[in-house]
Chain A
Amino acid sequence: MTAALAALLIPLFTALGLLLLRSRSGPLVILTSLATLAAACWALVEVTTSGPQSLHLGDWPEPLAIRFQLQPITALLLVFTALIHLLVAVYAARSRHCRTRDTDYWPLSCLLQGSLNALWLSSDLFNWYVTLELLGLAAVALVALSGRKAYGPALNYLLLSLGASLVYLLGVALIYGRYGVLDITLLATQTEADQSTRVAFWLMTLGLMLKAALWPLHLWLPKAHASAPTAVSALLSALVVKGPLFILWRLWSEAAPVELAIETGPLLAIAGVAALLLGGWSALRTPWLKSLVAYSTVAQLGYALMALGLLMHWQLPALDAALWLFVLAHGLAKASMFLAAGELQATLGSKRVSALRGTTETMPVAMFAFAVAGGSLIGLPPSGGFLAKWMLLEPMLGQSEHWPWVAGILLGTLISAGYVFRVVALAFDRADPVPPDFKPDRFAHWLAMLPALVVWGLALVSQPLIAWLTGATP
């Protein structure tokens, strides 16, 4: 647990230190990020060797204390967060086009990482509310870094995020009123499928869905993510939306009464399919590059939502692996995509998709990163996205009464292929290439490529990864 605590505290202390010293030192953040990563890896090793651990904060007994729970998934998410944060920090420190270098990006992103880590570790309903608020405020503050034009979307994001928290909080209040506990493990032993519980779980789910931008509560996301600075967009899409998703997953897979989960599952799964189709459709239509990437986040979260819904409906723990593979693969691919998109649009001086004409010639690395990451989003083998899709397809095709769901995946795949290749095909257009305004920054382009390669590289460790995920999730 010490390692996990270290992963939690290092970013927080870094943020405080930076503020205290009025420092905006990228290298320092990179250094502490490395330390966090090391701590997170250590936690992962610890949890793999000696099993899940839990810590009662303040050493108080069961119903009173807030409990930290270090499960294998938690440890994996700690590592994942640290990895993405480190990558984006390197980008923010190094890229010529990154406008966040001389801003409060550094302490804010550290606080963001700290709050995410607090969220992964916690298992207390109210504590989650506070971490969600922390996460939301940090995210909005980061979006607002992009200057005045982002204030509108940032405000909308903030208000909806606050509203969502209060919807969630009312659910928590009802749960407390009904069962008198806040700890999720204690709750799990007591829940019954009565009216109060049902309404409480629905409220919490709705709030979290809004926060995670799950369809149909996603409308705030594209504008917010697209108007943020590039480094921030990457953090938001890769990490922040996964926080509420994690809580949703823990709620439904651990605490909710089985009848309720079976009953609610199809609704979530249908919302997931709708997200895939409508998010993908919007991505196909939008004229703006970053909006396209942001809409693709909406669509891709549909896969995760579908996995969650079906997991609940069929009570199939095997789908856990699919869900978390989606989260990992999407996070890596999206980080890569946003960095590439940001570099492309900064170098070309235009935010339009149509400006990408001929970029395979002028900026081959960035475009290649975009395409490779897109391949994982489509789910082309042997990328991480493919593995996740495979894990999701397997139980669907295994029984003939589940077959209708396959249509959702099929259409989703085709639509994602549509919007990814909409960009890629344009990039091969040599008839009338848009000349770049600057000399391309090759280091930044390779940095964008890195997570995309990692997500394809998951294929090399796929077997142990899947086995670990299947065994690791409770």
Chain B
Amino acid sequence: MTQVLFYLILGVALWVLGLHGLIRLHQPIRRIISVNIMGSGVFMVMVALARRSEDPDPVMHALVVTGLVVAISATAFALRLAVTGQRSEEDRE
């Protein structure tokens, strides 16, 4: 077992955990966190793959940076939707 494989498996495990959370959980903020954990899992797979060559693969690193920005953008939007949605439910009661 190499370090690359170790982190590949770890990434996959995180991804599965996140997926499980996304499907099983209901509280919006928790689901958003689940998606983020899923994302971390994929990124870990990608970074581990980048580690295969002697010099780490810059392409994968760049893709992960892009992925991180996408993740924060979506998270910000999702959180705001979740919070505003909850409040509107509260208003109705």
* A–B in direct contact per CB < 8 Å: yes
Given A130-B70, A151-B81, A170–B32 Cβ distance below 8 Å?
A: no
Question: Which residue from B22, B28, B35, B66 sits with its C-beta under 8 Å from A130?
Answer: B66
Chain B 62-88, CB-CB to A under 8 Å as 1, else 0, gives: 010011001001100110011011001
Distance from A119 Cβ to chain B, minimum over Cβ atoms (Å): 15
* A152: B residues at CB distance < 8 A: 85, 89
Decide if A177 touches B84 in the complex (CB within 8 Å). no
Question: Which residue from A144, A167, A173 sits with its C-beta under 8 Å from B49?
Answer: A173
* B60: A residues at CB distance < 8 A: 176
Decide if A133 touches B70 in the complex (CB within 8 Å). yes
* A163: B residues at CB distance < 8 A: 19, 22, 35, 38
Decide if A159 touches B88 in the complex (CB within 8 Å). no
A141 contacts B by Cβ under 8 Å: yes
* B31: A residues at CB distance < 8 A: 159
A40 contacts B by Cβ under 8 Å: no
Closest to B45 in A: A173
CB proximity to A under 8 Å, residues B10-54: 12, 15, 18-19, 22, 28, 31-32, 35, 38-39, 41-42, 45-46, 49
Number of residues of chain A lying within 8 A (CB) of chain B: 27
* A262: B residues at CB distance < 8 A: none
Closest to A153 in B: B85
Question: Which residue from B32, B41, B81 sits with its C-beta under 8 Å from A144?
Answer: B81
A444 contacts B by Cβ under 8 Å: no
* B77: A residues at CB distance < 8 A: 137, 140-141, 158
A155 contacts B by Cβ under 8 Å: yes
Decide if B49 touches A155 in the complex (CB within 8 Å). no
Decide if A151 touches B84 in the complex (CB within 8 Å). yes
A126 CA to B45 CA in the complex, in Å? 14
A450 contacts B by Cβ under 8 Å: no
Question: Which residue from A133, A136, A154 sits with its C-beta under 8 Å from B81?
Answer: A154
Distance from A431 Cβ to chain B, minimum over Cβ atoms (Å): 36
* A169: B residues at CB distance < 8 A: 42, 67
Decide if A155 touches B74 in the complex (CB within 8 Å). no
CB proximity to B under 8 Å, residues A129-159: 129-130, 133, 136-137, 140-141, 144, 148-149, 151-152, 154-155, 158-159
* A144: B residues at CB distance < 8 A: 81
Question: Which residue from B42, B66, B73 sits with its C-beta under 8 Å from A166?
Answer: B42
- Which of B19, B45, B63, B81 lies at the interface centre, i.e. has the most chain A CB atoms within 10 A of its CB? B81
Closest to B85 in A: A151
- Which of A129, A162, A176, A177 lies at the interface centre, i.e. has the most chain B CB atoms within 10 A of its CB? A162
Closest to A154 in B: B81
A152 CA to B84 CA in the complex, in Å? 9
* A130: B residues at CB distance < 8 A: 66, 70
A320 CA to B14 CA in the complex, in Å? 38
Distance from B14 Cβ to chain A, minimum over Cβ atoms (Å): 11
Distance from B70 Cβ to chain A, minimum over Cβ atoms (Å): 5
Distance from B80 Cβ to chain A, minimum over Cβ atoms (Å): 9
A82 CA to B88 CA in the complex, in Å? 36
Decide if B74 touches A162 in the complex (CB within 8 Å). yes
Decide if A158 touches B78 in the complex (CB within 8 Å). yes
A99 CA to B32 CA in the complex, in Å? 30
A129 CA to B70 CA in the complex, in Å? 10
Decide if A166 touches B49 in the complex (CB within 8 Å). no
Decide if A177 touches B49 in the complex (CB within 8 Å). yes
Distance from B35 Cβ to chain A, minimum over Cβ atoms (Å): 5
CB proximity to B under 8 Å, residues A227-268: none
Given A133-B74, A137-B77, A166–B45 Cβ distance below 8 Å?
A: no
* B18: A residues at CB distance < 8 A: 166
Question: Which residue from A154, A162, A166 sits with its C-beta under 8 Å from B15?
Answer: A166
Decide if B78 touches A148 in the complex (CB within 8 Å). no
* B84: A residues at CB distance < 8 A: 148, 151
Closest to B40 in A: A166
A163 CA to B85 CA in the complex, in Å? 20
Distance from B2 Cβ to chain A, minimum over Cβ atoms (Å): 13
Closest to A134 in B: B70
Decide if A166 touches B35 in the complex (CB within 8 Å). yes
A438 CA to B46 CA in the complex, in Å? 57
A and B contact pairs by CB, cutoff 8 A, 23 listed: A133-B70, A137-B74, A141-B77, A148-B84, A148-B85, A148-B91, A151-B81, A158-B77, A158-B81, A159-B32, A159-B35, A162-B35, A166-B15, A166-B41, A166-B42, A167-B19, A169-B42, A169-B67, A170-B12, A173-B46, A174-B45, A177-B45, A177-B49
Closest 10 CB pairs between A and B? A151-B85, A148-B88, A155-B81, A177-B49, A166-B38, A173-B45, A162-B35, A170-B42, A173-B46, A169-B42
B residues in contact (CB < 8 Å) with A: 8, 12, 15, 18-19, 22, 28, 31-32, 35, 38-39, 41-42, 45-46, 49, 60, 63, 66-67, 70, 73-74, 77-78, 81-82, 84-85, 88-89, 91
A residues in contact (CB < 8 Å) with B: 126, 129-130, 133, 136-137, 140-141, 144, 148-149, 151-152, 154-155, 158-159, 162-163, 166-167, 169-170, 173-174, 176-177
Given contacts A133-B70, A137-B74, A154-B85, 11 further A-B pairs with CB under 8 A are A137-B73, A148-B85, A151-B81, A151-B84, A155-B78, A155-B82, A159-B31, A163-B22, A166-B15, A170-B45, A173-B49
